[in-house]
A and B are shown apart, each in its own frame.
Chain A
Amino acid sequence: MRFEPPVGPGAEPFWDATRQGRLVLPWCTTCGRPFWFPREVCPRCLGDSLEWRDAAGDGTVYAFTVEHRPSPPSSPYDEPYVVALVELAEEVRLMSNIVGCRPSAVSVGMAVQVTWEPLGDGRQLPLFEPATAR
């Protein structure tokens, strides 16, 4: 069963954008760079002048593990599945699942693209699939 994430302080714009299937990142207008994870201030300069920009939705697998022993209810899938850190083109790294291929097909450096899974409240969860699937 998929655990539905809480909306943390400063993350409302991220989750709101997912309702339209848009992957957005917080950018610090002072540093001119995005950061992850979303929070109220920039973790580099502590500035609070932030804006949300659309991400390209492309990335590569930085590291991953195959969870061989799904353990409900904390596991989102019943079969062995991949949890990965995905490095986006914007050079932030976020955690996700790699879907749309067998776990044995996943490798470090593999190109992936965002795809969406609806959550119960209208928000969507960003997942990633092999870039060739589009």
Chain B
Amino acid sequence: MRGAAAIVGVADAASPSGELELTGRALEAAMVREALADAGLTLGDVDGVCHATSSMRLAEYLSIEPRFTDSTMTGGSSFEVHAEHAAAAIAAGLCEVVVSVYQATPRSDRRRGAGRYRPDPGDHNPSLEWEAPYGLRMPMGPYAMAANRHMACFGTTPEQLAEIAVSTRAWAALNPRARYRDPLTAEEVLASPYECEPLHRLDCCLVTDGAGAFVMTSAARARSLRNPPVFVLGASTAHDHSMITAMPDLTTTPGAVSGRHAFEMARLGPADVDVLEGYDSFTITALLHLEDLGFCAKGEGGPFVEGGRTAPGGALPMNTNGGGLSYTHPGMYGMFLIVEAVRQLRGECGERQVEGAEVAVAHGSGMVLSCMSTLVLGTEATL
């Protein structure tokens, strides 16, 4: 599978106001149109569709008759999983051109009074029985517990977590479409009110509108298209719980498994990575990725992020678009990880471009640290 498929088109939508004009399928259609145009392909070329809710309804709306379909829903990591499945399907010859698309507009929905997401009461969810009575706020409560446990086990400090928000904001300052671009200090993060202690408001991601899409095709076809192909070198997914009560170890995510397998497939390691796009729903989320993917040892994430290591100019550029913390976060952020990784590897990122980026990792996290999916992406030179 290594190098058999490549991402050839991407699109995303976000705005400094946090709101978008379009909603729903119309927004998805716009993203598909843009991503296909970016690739130099048309709707008629598409023979595979991925969507985190219903690939069938999407295909019907777009009048696509696919021979590969994937409605995998693992929360925020859904799009990394789609990319993994699409690459495997393309490598196996099941299909040739796959599109995955996402949109959510929670910010403007709220203004329009469209109401907030409510879980389906008919779904038997053990969390309703064993967690909901205790008033754990979702989704920040489980992440706060993980941060608490990490602090107790390894001495990680609130200042170190804040450092991640500060470094990410410095990247956002270089992205004209980011929601927040003003410089941020660790003191400001620590002075922001607690949401769920030990996580402050500025340890938490945004709530914005946003949308995106990617198009993937075979390596051979990718080379005939207008953009430099971004090859899938490695991909792996792992999950070990759904509700936080069932997480085996709150300081180690299943990213330790998905990361190892993805790097093995890519025949690369953390030291080879030029850009890390690591799901940052909360500062603790990003810190856990750094450890579980092997950028530092377990428990050493706190010291690792000190001194702006993941900021512009730092040794490990992380979340170069400003991340879920400062760029955009419509609920399932994984699509934006892929879009930014592709743009970095194509050298299109302007002020925030990481010079000479050849290898990027897009590492998605879904639900409450439940499902991790790791993509190792590379340029032609990395094959």
Q: Which residue of B lies closest to A76 (CB)?
A: B135
- Neighbouring A residues of B220 by C-beta, 8 Å: none
Q: Are A6 and B128 touching (Cβ within 8 A)? A: yes
Q: Which of B124, B133, B135, B199 contacts A4 (CB 8 A)?
A: B133
Q: When each residue 124-139 of chain B gets 1 if its CB lies under 8 Å from chain A and 0 otherwise, what string results?
A: 1010111111111100
- Neighbouring B residues of A7 by C-beta, 8 Å: 129
Secondary structure type dominating chain A contacts: loop
A53 at the interface (CB under 8 A from B): no
- Name the interface size band of chain B: 20 to 34
Give the Cβ gap from A8 to chain B, nearest Cβ, in Å.
5
In the complex the two chains form, what is the Cα distance from A45 to B246 in whole Å? 17
Q: Are B245 and A3 touching (Cβ within 8 A)? A: no
Q: When each residue 85-127 of chain A gets 1 if its CB lies under 8 Å from chain B and 0 otherwise, what string results?
A: 1000000011111000001000111000000000000000100
Q: Which residue of B lies closest to A69 (CB)?
A: B195
In the complex the two chains form, what is the Cα distance from A109 to B153 in whole Å? 10
Give the Cβ gap from B222 to chain A, nearest Cβ, in Å.
43
In the complex the two chains form, what is the Cα distance from A54 to B197 in whole Å? 33
B244 at the interface (CB under 8 A from A): yes
In the complex the two chains form, what is the Cα distance from A9 to B198 in whole Å? 35
Give the Cβ gap from B207 to chain A, nearest Cβ, in Å.
15
A49 at the interface (CB under 8 A from B): no
Q: When each residue 102-129 of chain B gets 1 if its CB lies under 8 Å from chain A and 0 otherwise, what string results?
A: 0000000000000000000000101011
B357 at the interface (CB under 8 A from A): no
Q: Are A67 and B141 touching (Cβ within 8 A)? A: yes
- Knowing A83-B134, A108-B148, the reply to whether A8 touches B250 (Cβ < 8 A) is no
In the complex the two chains form, what is the Cα distance from A77 to B133 in whole Å? 11
Q: Are A95 and B131 touching (Cβ within 8 A)? A: yes
Q: Are B128 and A83 touching (Cβ within 8 A)? A: no
Q: Which of A11, A103, A108 contacts B152 (CB 8 A)?
A: A108
B61 at the interface (CB under 8 A from A): no
- Knowing A75-B135, A97-B135, the reply to whether A83 touches B141 (Cβ < 8 A) is yes
Give the Cβ gap from B366 to chain A, nearest Cβ, in Å.
20
In the complex the two chains form, what is the Cα distance from A122 to B247 in whole Å? 31
In the complex the two chains form, what is the Cα distance from A103 to B148 in whole Å? 13
Q: Which of B126, B148, B198, B244 contacts A8 (CB 8 A)?
A: B126
Of residues 210 through 235 on chain B, the ones whose CB sits less than 8 Å from some CB of chain A are: none
Give the Cβ gap from B110 to chain A, nearest Cβ, in Å.
15
Q: Would you list the 9 A-B pairs with minimal beta carbon distance, nearest first?
A: A108-B152, A65-B144, A66-B197, A63-B149, A68-B194, A63-B145, A65-B196, A76-B135, A75-B135
Q: List 6 A-B contacts (CB under 8 A).
A: A5-B133, A37-B246, A63-B145, A67-B137, A69-B137, A94-B130
Interface residues in chain B, defined as those with a beta carbon under 8 Å from any beta carbon in chain A:
124, 126, 128-137, 141, 144-146, 148-149, 152-153, 193-199, 244-246, 250
Give me 13 other A-B pairs in contact (C-beta within 8 A), A63-B149, A97-B135 excluded.
A4-B133, A63-B250, A65-B145, A65-B148, A67-B137, A69-B195, A83-B135, A84-B145, A93-B245, A94-B245, A96-B134, A108-B152, A108-B153
